[in-house]
Amino acid sequence: MVKQKNIPIVTYEEFQERAKSNPNLLAKSPFIVEGYIQNWPCYEEWRNLDYLRKKFGKLSAYACSPQFTTNSNVKLTRVKTRFDQYLDYLKNPEKIEEIYEGLWCDGSYETFLAQNKPLYCGSLRIIQEANDRIFDDLNPIVPKPLENWNSILPFYYKICNHFWLYVSLPGALTPLHQDNNGTFAYLAQLDGRKRVTLYSPEDFDFYHNSKVGFLDVLNPNDEEFPKWRSATKWTGELTQGQALMMGTDWAHHVVTIEQSISVSLDFVNQNNISAYAASEQWANSFGRRVKMKPEALGLFSSEELKKKSDVYIGRKAMRSILKNGLKNNNNGFDGSIRKVFLSELESLSE
């Protein structure tokens, strides 16, 4: 028998009270929060696809079915697109062959049909700067009293994509996965409905197989995941105006029930800065960027750049950037956070 729990649904006021008494409450339980995102200045505008087309239509992206793959038995179909082109598909899905003729990067139109799942556009790179004015439209970006340190961590939005806009048709699928970089995350539902399934990181060995990947929640394989029923399955339905909040390494699986508009954010604060610092994903990405222009820092010898991993280069470069920055500004709230980040990085063994 599968062990199952309903994801608690709480008001914004109740969530705030719980977070005041336990700032790390997301470590043990996800929550669906009502009455939070309605405070955003953009709440009504971002529920309008014509508005989103004007604002983000020229951005390039990939549209995939499913959104990505985390199980080696599942095949990906993918097209290179622009957001306005994807919205054309959303409006007329029966014209997909015409809209994306010659644009299939993985698979083909025929393999897409065989999967019987719509294309999902979730890779828009909307934000690359910590001071992007979009944040003014999404204020408060994190439910208070939770803290958000993203803007204080150097290159946070340049290194990785930590903010997403999702628009999807019924049946669109995000397979079971954990977010990178040890971050906290939320999925805010602006329009439509989604069904969500979560698993705690404590149950990781039950729903993950190192040879296959993550459990296919809709079609569990008993041979590959013999103990998947031992994992507690947290479930809920996310409707308009609600936000799903989850902690570090909570695995999540999402299916669109009604045509949907959602936004998602990964964020760091005092409760997961250690996990973020230890994560290899951002360090690997940053290391690759540094290797492209190593002269900008003047920190590495050619031999070091050749022999050392991208993770090593990324972490060493970040330590240097933090130290230099703290020489000029080591006081105040931002300085104290960067000191914590530096301390966590210095505690890692290479």
Q: pLDDT tens digit string along 191-205?
A: 999 999 999 999 999
How do residues 86-127 score in pLDDT, each as one tens digit? 999 999 999 999 999 999 999 999 999 998 999 999 888 999
In this structure, of 25-34, 164-173, 320-329, 337-346, the range with the lowest mean pLDDT score is 320-329
Q: Alpha carbon 274 to chain centroid distance?
A: 18
**Total residue count of the chain as it appears in this document:** 350
Of the candidates 15, 281, 337, the residue with the CA atom closest to the CA atom of residue 148: 337
Q: Alpha carbon 41 to chain centroid distance?
A: 22
SS3 (DSSP) at 182? helix
pTM: 0.94
How do residues 279-337 score in pLDDT, each as one tens digit? 999 999 999 999 999 998 899 999 999 999 999 999 999 999 999 999 877 778 999 99
316 to 257, 307, 320, 321, 341: CA distances (angstroms): 45, 14, 6, 9, 13
Domain boundary assignment for the chain? 3-58+120-269, 279-346
Residue-averaged pLDDT of the chain: 95
Backbone angles phi, psi at 228, to 5 degrees: -65, -25
* Cα 39 to Cα 137: distance, rounded to the nearest angstrom: 10
Burial 258-292 (b: 16+ CB within 10 A, else e): ebbbbbbbbbbbebbbbbbbebbbbbbbbbebbbe
The CATH classification number of 3-58+120-269 equals 2.60.120.650
Instruction: Work out the angle between the directed axes of helices 280-292 and 310-328 (0-180°, nearest 10).
Output: 80
Q: Note the helical H segments in the chain.
A: 12-21, 49-56, 83-91, 96-99, 109-115, 134-137, 156-159, 204-207, 273-278, 280-292, 302-307, 310-328, 332-346
**What burial class does residue 242 get, using C-beta atoms within 10 Å of its C-beta: 0-12 exposed, 13-18 middle, 19+ buried?**
buried
Backbone angles phi, psi at 217, to 5 degrees: -60, -35
DSSP string, 89-151: HHH-GGGHHHHTTT-EEES-HHHHHHHT---EE-------STT-THHHHT-SSS-TTS---GG
Q: Does residue 6 carry a pLDDT above 80?
A: yes
